[in-house]
Amino acid sequence: MQLEEAKGANAMQESLKRQLKATTQLTAAKTRKAYITASGMLDMAMAAVDRTSDAAKNFRRIRSRVEKVDLVEVAEPLPEPTPNPK
């Protein structure tokens, strides 16, 4: 009985891992698309205020900060688990 419960729990855990990986990939793709859209909007704002103006410099700073946050939030893969010695 306990072995069957352990197998079921393990199967559920593996399924959740696969779902999490797929969700992470979807989130990364959506985040990248949002960044590209926002970057394009900032480009238009810079063009509207003259690319060499102080206002355009502020827009570039905003994009730089958003870019840094995007890079920091990228999840690094977890280390491989070490096998238990028997």
pLDDT digits (tens, 9 = 90+) for 26-79: 988 888 888 888 888 888 999 999 888 999 999 888 888 877 665 545 555 556
pLDDT of 85: 62
Answer whether residue 26 is part of any domain.
yes
Which residue range forms the structural domain that includes residue 18? 2-72
- The CA–CA distances, whole Å, from 5 to 2, 11, 16, 86 equal 5, 10, 16, 21
* In contact, 38 and 66? CB cutoff 8 Å: yes
Answer whether residue 28 is part of any domain.
yes
Angle, nearest 10°, between helix axes 54-72 and 2-48? 170
Answer whether residue 77 is part of any domain.
no
Neighbour-count burial of 8, counting CB atoms closer than 10 A to its CB (0-12 exposed, 13-18 middle, 19+ buried): exposed
Answer whether residue 24 is part of any domain.
yes
Answer whether residue 79 is part of any domain.
no
pLDDT of 14: 94
Confidence label for 23 from pLDDT (cuts 50, 70 and 90): very high
Please count the structural domains in the chain.
1
pLDDT above 90: residue 16: yes
